[in-house]
Structure 1
Amino acid sequence: MSVSNPTLITFVIYIAAMVLIGFMAYRSTNNLSDYILGGRSLGSVVTALSAGASDMSGWLLMGLPGAIYMSGLSESWIAIGLIVGAYLNWLFVAGRLRVQTEHNGDALTLPDYFSSRFEDNSGLLRIISAVVILVFFTIYCASGIVAGARLFESTFGMSYETALWAGAAATIAYTFVGGFLAVSWTDTVQATLMIFALILTPVIVLIATGGFDTTFAAIELKDAGNFDMLKGTTFIGIISLMGWGLGYFGQPHILARFMAADSVKSIAKARRISMTWMILCLVGTCAVGFFGIAYFSAHPEVAGPVTENHERVFIELAKLLFNPWIAGVLLSAILAAVMSTLSCQLLVCSSALTEDFYKTFLRKGASQMELVWVGRAMVLLVAVVAILIASNPENRVLGLVSYAWAGFGAAFGPVVLISVLWKGMTRDGALAGILVGAITVVVWKHFSIWGLYEIIPGFILGALAIYFVSKAGSPSKGMVSRFEAADEAFKAAH
């Protein structure tokens, strides 16, 4: 690998720019609220694009195109489920959560919000929700590190072990230094880069394979079933893929963007921007995988790396079809997808450890700068554990993501959704929802019952547990009055 390699130079410039943004954000970070939520100062564009970029991790440019390349359009049900779920999350949760967190002790984290919303003085709700965050997010962080390692491994010919550390180092650097503002500002740059790559690449692949007619004929020749959205699927299979959309209600790294918006009025505009960005990205990523079938069947001599690992379809197309400088920019988009998600996951883990364990149980009187530095130390700790999990080269990005996504969707999704819509929810109901949701995911995954994606039974049973346990008790007058005041504020803003 020569130092004049244009892709390497592009990567280095890109990573340097992200770390520079981290240092700029460092100067705006004065207390823990700044480090964890950027002082609730995000405008609608940054809220929209950082929510999108933090959601769409390495699987957007690796896992999903790879699945479509292997199986055809029948894998696109996952994209449809995600679009529906994300829209409903923006519609029902985003604005209400922004107002509810402010009315409930100006909560900075989800465990913080649950504690204040349900007047949990025992600390039990805070501890259990923080533990769920740490367990599932560490697995989620590992998926990002695997995606980064795959990128460095195939682009620069590094060994998997070296690529693992190289891919993680840059993200850890700017998250460590700049906190939430760095993560949100870099996310906005990264979201722009991702959409550029996902609109340009399928267009160039289409031109290289001779236009729509030739491309579709080649895909049909390879396997006519590639066009069939029901090929090889079952009712349970489609429900499982669509079920990914349920996960949005419980993802702490996406919900943090709603909590950090400068006002509830920014949310409607942010929703429109974010959904447009998301739909364009998902259509682009499906097109990359789909058109890739035609390209590699016409050029079998270069199909080796993709045959070996189908998650490399975007990487190989970028390297084969573009000038090395442009390829460097496009491959930086994968790095952008990985870094944007990994950075906010590291930050959510760090904030759970700092705000919900250290400050609450160990050092109640800790100064703001002490808490910021503890937060930074926790970023390093979580990153090291995630790297150790990711060190198995057999890991697949989509497999790791699906487990973590289900864990959050089932444990927190029903609790967040019902807590912003129903004033009759109680603390015991919230506890039951988190425990039943999380345990169902672990047990269902272990026994893989009926081949149904574990998020669906987890979400349904968690929601039922909340309803029945809440009905057995009743919320305090304080909980009801705070809920009503927040609800009034939400309605007044619309």
Structure 2
Amino acid sequence: MTSAQICIMIAIIVYLIGMIYIGFRCSKKNNSTDDFYLGGRKLGPFVTAMSAEASDMSSWLLMGLPGVAYLTGISDAGWTAIGLAAGTYINWLIVAKRIRRYTHTCNNSITIPSFFSNRYRDEKKMLQVIAAIFIVIFFIPYTASGFAACGKLFSSLFGVKYLTAMIISAIVIVAYTTLGGFLAASTTDFIQSIIMSVALIVVLIFGVETAGGIGAVIHNASELPGYLSMTLSYDVNTGKAAPYSALTIVSTAAWGLGYFGMPHILLRFMAIEDEKKLKLSRRVATIWVVISLFVAVFIGVIGYTMSKVGALEMLTGSNSETIIVKISALLSQHGVIFALLAGVILAGILASTMSTSDSQLLAASSAVSSDILGAFRKDSSNKNGSMAAARITLLVISVVAAFIARNPDSSVFAIVSFAWAGFGAAFGPVVLFSLFWKRTNKWGALAGMVCGGSMVFIWKYLIRPLGGIWNIYELLPAFLIACAAIVIVSLLTPKPSKEIEEEFDRVAQMK
């Protein structure tokens, strides 16, 4: 192992030990499942903002987005970033405060599935159980993709076996999440967002300097047809510009719709201690997201120029997603200080993956232990038993996710895209209509959830392969169909009870 690799290893080990220590400290504050899954609704505005966005971005921010920009130019990555930035702001603006109030009013709901059942007085818990099943369906492979990304990172850096690296990464994530629950996940996510920011800034500055300056970056990128256009894309196979249609733009920007249905993001809204501070959280979150997305896309363009001038090898296919790893390796060759900085950058990639995996683990385990098992449990007074069930469930789900991730060739970002669409379509419309349309009833919510979740599969595997106008991201059509199902079924079935309508008005009138 070289001195540079040793420095990188030291930086990463210090980071991992710090995450486990936070989990240990937070474990002392968990006295109930409410604390374990929602932190007792005691998050501050900065932790709320940054943990929400860190748990959202995952390694996709530091690997996937720069990789897409590196290969095809700024259009695909750019419109995705615009959609995500808009979705982030709108979600914080219209959903955050209302869902914080409504979940607290509805029998202090601590999970999204339990909120659905409490909101519609679903005594049979159909909404709760079905919503929990969708969470498990989409989150277990999502968590597996995070484990796989960590395994690939360590394997490529230090030459260790993929399976060993993946299992060690999974153990660390599971350790601090099992110990500290939601509070540990949110606190570590806050720290991880800072590390991700440092990684982006260091790579940006070093990359621009190595590439020969901003002028050289723009000049080299502009030589590729369509590379710097938002209405064209660079076709790496033909070396020519390919059209980027209005339909493709809308479809790509539709990534932003996914925010309304992300359980791990909505939980941050529900957990803030003072709803009056959500305005500050919204500003912090939006600014961080916009800057981070812009920098991530630009790093892809910088990386291409670095390859063009010979500073890096030319990357092809999925290898383009390792552009920040390659830049970090180059940085580490400039001495001990720079090797430690490279370690921080790589810890940032690890942080982006871990910050999402821990939140996914909590959401998936709460879906089983609190929502599915809780729906059939008559005695909810045994707090110690509930906490034990929560932790055991988290461990079992982790084992299943690790089993799925055992294959080093498993796709990471295809799963992320599909799971994002699944949550956005299954939960997004139901969340919006539950918060803002009084006429929505239990049957409409159920129809929207089932239609949205099912249509993601149908569109992805049956309709989208037809190509042409059908080749659009499955989130958009599934989201629209779910909205239509909610409206139609709600209007065709009896309106909500007077009690439900009065509760809706009470929440809507809160100042």
Instruction: Report Cα offsets for 1:309-363 as digits up to 9, x if no partner.
Output: 1110111111112421110011100111011110011001111111112233146
Structure 1 residues 352 and 52: alpha-carbon distance in aligned structure 2, compared to 1, 3 A threshold: same
Distance in 2, Cα, partners of 1:130 & 1:364: 20
SS at match of 1:105: coil
Distance in 2, Cα, partners of 1:21 & 1:2: 31
Q: Is the Cα contact below 8 Å between 2:217 and 2:301 reproduced in 1?
A: no
Distance in 1, Cα, partners of 2:88 & 2:504: 24
Q: Is the Cα contact below 8 Å between 1:199 and 1:280 reproduced in 2?
A: no
Aligned residue in 1 for 2:227: 226
Once the two structures are TM-superposed, the CA of residue 304 in structure 1 deviates from its matched residue by 6.1
Once the two structures are TM-superposed, the CA of residue 201 in structure 1 deviates from its matched residue by 1.1
Aligned residue in 2 for 1:388: 403
> Which of 461, 467, 476 is 1:456 aligned to?
476
TM-score by length of 2: 0.93
Distance in 1, Cα, partners of 2:128 & 2:352: 30
Q: Is the Cα contact below 8 Å between 2:128 and 2:375 reproduced in 1?
A: no
Aligned residue in 2 for 1:257: 268
> Which of 209, 217, 220 is 1:215 aligned to?
217
Moved more, 102-111 or 320-329: 320-329
Matching of residues 122-141 of structure 1 within 5 Å = 122-141=124-143
Instruction: Report Cα offsets for 1:191-239 as digits up to 9, x if no partner.
Output: 1111121122112100111111112222233x13211222232333222
SS at match of 1:391: coil
Once the two structures are TM-superposed, the CA of residue 305 in structure 1 deviates from its matched residue by 6.4
Aligned residue in 2 for 1:428: 443
> Which of 121, 142, 145 is 1:143 aligned to?
145
Distance in 2, Cα, partners of 1:397 & 1:430: 31
Q: Which amino acid aligns with 2:6?
A: N
TM-score by length of 1: 0.96
Q: Which amino acid aligns with 2:142?
A: Y
SS at match of 1:30: coil
Distance in 1, Cα, partners of 2:369 & 2:308: 52
Residue 333 (1) aligns with residue 354 (2): no
SS at match of 1:412: helix
Q: Is the Cα contact below 8 Å between 2:129 and 2:375 reproduced in 1?
A: no
Distance in 2, Cα, partners of 1:443 & 1:318: 41
> Which of 289, 297, 313 is 2:300 aligned to?
289
Distance in 1, Cα, partners of 2:2 & 2:206: 27
> Which of 310, 319, 325 is 1:315 aligned to?
325
Distance in 2, Cα, partners of 1:96 & 1:487: 8
Residue 239 (1) aligns with residue 250 (2): yes
Give unmatched runs, 5+ long, in structure 1. Answer: none
Instruction: Report Cα offsets for 1:277-300 as digits up to 9, x if no partner.
Output: 111111111111110000012127
Aligned residue in 1 for 2:422: 407
Aligned residue in 2 for 1:62: 63
Matching of residues 414-493 of structure 1 within 5 Å = 414-449=429-464, 450-472=470-492, 473-489=494-510, 492=511
Instruction: Report Cα offsets for 1:347-392 as digits up to 9, x if no partner.
Output: 0111111111223314634511221121111111111211222223
**Count of matched residue pairs:** 488
Aligned residue in 2 for 1:275: 286
| Runs of at least 4 residues off by over 4 Å | 304-308
Once the two structures are TM-superposed, the CA of residue 307 in structure 1 deviates from its matched residue by 6.2
Once the two structures are TM-superposed, the CA of residue 74 in structure 1 deviates from its matched residue by 1.3
SS at match of 1:370: helix
Q: Which amino acid aligns with 2:80?
A: I
Q: Is the Cα contact below 8 Å between 1:133 and 1:352 reproduced in 2?
A: yes
Distance in 2, Cα, partners of 1:442 & 1:306: 29
Moved more, 140-149 or 271-280: 140-149
Distance in 2, Cα, partners of 1:145 & 1:297: 33
Q: Is the Cα contact below 8 Å between 2:331 and 2:339 reproduced in 1?
A: no
Q: Quote the RMSD (CA, aligned, Å).
A: 1.5
Structure 1 residues 207 and 73: alpha-carbon distance in aligned structure 2, compared to 1, 3 A threshold: same
Aligned residue in 1 for 2:236: none
Once the two structures are TM-superposed, the CA of residue 2 in structure 1 deviates from its matched residue by 6.2
Q: Which amino acid aligns with 2:383?
A: Q
Distance in 2, Cα, partners of 1:124 & 1:286: 42
Distance in 1, Cα, partners of 2:215 & 2:14: 39
SS at match of 1:226: coil
Give unmatched runs, 5+ long, in structure 2. Answer: 233-241, 333-337, 465-469
Once the two structures are TM-superposed, the CA of residue 136 in structure 1 deviates from its matched residue by 0.5
Q: Which amino acid aligns with 1:217?
A: H
SS at match of 1:224: coil
Distance in 1, Cα, partners of 2:448 & 2:265: 20
Q: Which amino acid aligns with 2:52?
A: A
Distance in 2, Cα, partners of 1:18 & 1:175: 9
SS at match of 1:229: coil
Once the two structures are TM-superposed, the CA of residue 306 in structure 1 deviates from its matched residue by 6.2
SS at match of 1:444: helix
Matching of residues 185-204 of structure 1 within 5 Å = 185-204=187-206
